[in-house]
A and B are shown apart, each in its own frame.
Chain A
Amino acid sequence: MRIIVPLQGVVQGRGGLVFGSLIPCALFYFLQLYLKRNRPSSPSSSPPSPSPSSSNLSELSTIPRSLSRGLISPRGSSGRAQLSSRGAAIARPDDSPYYIGNKRCVDDPYHPSSNPDGIMQLGLAENQLSLDLVRDWLESNLKESFPGDKENGGLNIRGLATYQPYDGLMDLKMAMAGFMGQVLQGSVSFNPSQIILTAGATPAIETLSFCLADPGNAFLVPSPYYPGWDRDIKWRTGVELIPVPCRSTDNFNISIAALDRAYNQAKKRGLKVRAVLVSNPTNPVGNILSQETMYGLLDFATEKNIHLISDEIFAGSTHGSDKFVSIAEVLDAEGFDRSRVHIIYGLSKDLSLPGFRVGVIYSFNEHVLAAAAKLGRFSSISAPTQCLLVSMLSDTKFISKYLEINRERLRKMYALFVGELKQLGIECTTSSGGFYCWADMSKFIRSYSEKGELKLWDELLNVARINVTPGSACHCIEPGWFRCCFTTLTEKDISVVMERITRITEGH
């Protein structure tokens, strides 16, 4: 994968770009094919044991191609009652730096006084900057978990405890539609009937994937992308994710041409592409999609007759000077076929409440809404939490104040963090949103490769004792980029982080 980059560097220039892209792409394609065919089995697995059904493989016609390989793959435990191949794949130990790093932070968390040598967490996109605002509101509105029974002056648990619509209370859908509108400063009006509520954005994206694609189908995903999608989407749906690399020379913006190439390559491999999945603001880079890009995406999706999924979970967490525009706003303005557009949202980022588990599928497709509503039964939000949030989201004055203050704090923290990194000689791309910056540490890696990058990541984790997310975990094809989250840090913490980074950078 890393071969392309130097080649492209060599053949810059308009005419050269064609060859510069074609040849490496072809090489890349064949290399991938070769690697896939010769992929060694993971060292932790035991030798394949004959499965009772392997002789019946041909008769088990209902099993999709992508899973049939799983039947002959190692079973792992020699105990009885083995796991399914899906289960076994999920049970394997984590091999992604994204998860390994996070686990290290859980096991050995930094604390300024009680554990000053612990690992500092810069790998989790969690916003702790404005928790005080949310806490204060909750403290003054404690009773809102249970609706009051005004007639009898008591609690009305009956109204809350019984079975509720699986895709969320209508009251919360309405409040959520209002909140989403507020986040966009009134530029879009969201329709509550197009909202499906789920227990977090994680089931939202999975449920949507189950509705749009069959096992073995694929989504095109501009990379680098959020590492969690590799689990959330691939684990149970059987959908493949095809990374479509974005380049630093484009400031990691989406290239429609690259999407087109990836689509054709997938077609040649016999993979049916069913959707393009983007995030906006993007994770891990923090870009805001331009209107032009969104038109391009809509045109592309229309041309190929596929879906467009826009994960806008950081929509309210912008801190740059660019104005955030939702895909919904673009749809409003132009005459695109809306039935192919779906938005993922949630309260984990913009409202700092990941623990409450609140996600949204917003779709313009009635069939998707109908199916997703029924699928809601597997991931419904707890009723008292819904009740509490109806209250909070309906307090538009609080929400307005919160969004404004939160954005300001993000802006400040971003500027401080990026500024300090710059002093150490580490440049970041210009981010407009999200809780992180996208830092170029390539000058500190010895061999310009994924291996070299992971070595640096390891040094950062074990020597500098900070957990950052390496670009390779996000499918970035250029080595040396790291996502650094700054919203779990105080200003004091930032000084400590910088000092620790110098442990590494000074050696180079």
Chain B
Amino acid sequence: MGVEFGVPLSEIATSNAHGEDSPYFAGWKAYDEDPYDAVSNPSGVIQMGLAENQVSFDLLENYLKQHPETSSQGSGISGFRENALFQDYHGLKTFREAMAGFMEQVRGGRAKFDPERVVLTAGATAANELLTFIVADPGDALLIPTPYYPGFDRDLRWRTGVRIIPAHCHSSNGFQITIKALEDAHAKAVAANIRVRGILLTNPSNPLGTAITRTVLEHILDFAVQKDIHLISDEIYSGSVFTSAEFVSVAEIVEARGYELDCDGVHIVYSLSKDLGLPGFRVGTIYSYNDRVVTTARRMSSFTLVSSQTQRMLASMLSDREFTGNYIKTNRDRLRKRYEYIVEGLKNAGIDCLQGNAGLFCWMNLGPLLEEATREGELSLWKLILLEVKLNISPGSSCHCSEAGWFRVCFANMSEQTLDIALRRIKAFMEKSKARKRQA
């Protein structure tokens, strides 16, 4: 294997485990080559495959304009010295306090977070990989309910050597996680002599755009305790729930259980990339109720520290509770409005979506359009939409969805005008398809 390259490289460097040959990423390439622009390229590809939140930038910009000291380096030589030299993997205390406080606000104060348990990483991608290194050895497995974020195949497996075993969910119950699905997946692992080390949930779900209910969460935690495995709850979309009351964090359940031994295996991943729309800043956190995991994660975070300058900047912004309170509320409202708008528009075009209550995307059902209800059928429809309709949407198969025909459509990474155009294109496509069907 290494011979063709001359001097040998590792398996990691030469394998396809980065997963970037899948359609999820191929669509991005098509977009990069022909990106839509209202003025210069109105017939280009509209990017609806990137879960990025651009609806509330103005709030951030206004804050920074009104608080120029946010980007200052600190007063005097000692303030600057602290900044320039600070590479302590514990992270800036003020920033950890601000993050803990922000996480509490996002959960409407229904859970408390201890800043001493906040571990900082350069983004949630790093946080998820780090936790995987900590809870599982090469060859071990994590159970992940499907459909799930395509990036997990790479982020959780590539360098860690850990496997993912899907726990399949179905449209018959709105893709809710069932204990049966988890049991089946677990049994499969046991039969193959694979050791399961944990469950990884995304709550609210990507790509479904739904929050997990309290009852289901309780059952999942019980299942994890019973099997003696970890529970990782990726809550990076927790601030993107349309109505605050509808989101239940695993933190609330842990508190309700009085932080008992049950919770020794519970860990939460958070980030500012989605809720605050700052993916470029690379700010993620691991929050764990397990002391050893906190210590280990902290040490391992040496490979993925957040710039001290960024920590300082965001510490002051996130400590401004008036700003954050207003931001969270406004952001939620705007996302909800966008969601309602797109779902309505899709309905007009004759497309149904899963009833969602969170996230930067909706989960739409194009099953009725498939020539054949298979992965291939779905992919040929996806390709058609990419090349003819010029929309990059994410096929359910790249999310390991067990049913063909579902697609994730992002709506928060563009202007309202662009969203309109996308909806118009979809409508036109649907009408053309209907006409074609009638003729056939």
Contacts and interface: CB of A to CB of B under 8 A. Distances in A.
Given A143-B71, A146-B64, A163-B279, A357 B6 contact: no
Given A145-B309, A382-B281, A53 B138 contact: no
A376 B134 CA distance: 20
B13 A368 contact: yes
A380 to B, nearest CB: 5
Interface stretch (A3-11, A12-20, A195-203): A195-203
A161 B309 contact: no
B64 A384 contact: no
Contact of A382 (B7, B60, B122): B122
B9 A138 contact: no
Interface in A206-220: 206, 210-215, 217
Contacts of B290: 79, 81
Nearest to A375: B159
Nearest to B195: A53
Contact of A355 (B87, B129, B133): B87
A90 interface: yes
A162 interface: yes
Contact of A378 (B81, B125, B140): B125
Contact of B60 (A52, A161, A356, A385): A161
Chain A, interface size category, equals 35 or more
Interface residues of B, number: 85
A345 B212 CA distance: 45
B9 A135 contact: no
Contact of B77 (A80, A132, A206, A352): A132
A348 interface: yes
A80 B57 contact: no
A203 B129 CA distance: 14
Given A63-B137, A138-B73, A385-B310, A236 B159 contact: yes
Contacts, number: 271
The 6 lowest CB-CB distance pairs between A and B, nearest first, are A81-B265, A355-B308, A383-B280, A371-B13, A87-B134, A382-B310
23 contacts: A81-B228, A81-B290, A83-B292, A83-B296, A87-B134, A90-B299, A132-B77, A143-B68, A145-B71, A157-B61, A157-B64, A158-B54, A163-B50, A210-B10, A214-B10, A214-B11, A378-B155, A379-B122, A379-B304, A384-B71, A384-B309, A384-B310, A384-B313
Interface of A: 52-53, 56, 59-60, 62-64, 67, 70-71, 76-77, 79-81, 83-87, 90-91, 126, 128, 131-132, 134-135, 138-139, 142-143, 145-146, 154-155, 157-158, 160-164, 199-200, 202-203, 206, 210-215, 217, 231-232, 235-236, 274, 305-307, 337, 339-340, 348, 352-357, 365, 367-368, 371, 374-375, 377-385, 388
Given A86-B133, A380-B123, 4 more contacts: A62-B139, A70-B137, A139-B73, A214-B12
Interface of B: 5-14, 18, 20, 50, 52, 54, 57, 60-61, 64-65, 68, 71-73, 77, 80-81, 83-87, 122-123, 125-126, 129, 133-140, 155, 158-159, 161, 193, 195, 197-198, 224-225, 228-230, 261, 264-265, 277-283, 290, 292-293, 295-296, 299-300, 302-310, 313
